[in-house]
Amino acid sequence: MHDLLREMAKVIICEKSFGHPGKWSRLWNLQDVTDVLRNKSGTEEVEGLSGLWFQRSNKSFSTEAFANMKKLRLLYLYNIELNGEYKHLPKELKWLRWYRCPQMTFLINQD
């Protein structure tokens, strides 16, 4: 039953703006998340972003990709490197899980 509900939710989210994942409220598919971050096409609609993980090598994205995601509250990263200023991460971000974070210095002295 749980799997069925999850699949129904995914269909509802995808139908809202079919073919434009940057306008979805939640992103979980690796290819969709990668495309949205590379193209910096995320919008204010995005509230959750997960599924971005790479086993073998660090992938790099610009922090500017998050600039328009004002409502982003959940961010799950694995083996990802973010380049740029961390001021682009939204103030609404409540839950960050970042496995194999390549740099932790940004956590200090950030306004």
Mean pLDDT of 82-97: 88
pLDDT over 70 (residue 35) = yes
Mean pLDDT of 52-81: 85
- Return the C-alpha torsion angle 92, 94, 97, 101, nearest 10: 50
* pTM for the structure as a whole: 0.77
Give percent above pLDDT 90 in the chain: 27
Confirm if 48 and 70 have CB atoms less than 8 A apart: no
- Condensed to tens digits (0 to 9), the pLDDT of residues 97-111 reads 888 777 655 554 455
> What is the residue extent of each domain of the chain?
2-105
pLDDT over 80 (residue 18) = no
Amino acid (1-letter code) at residue 43: T
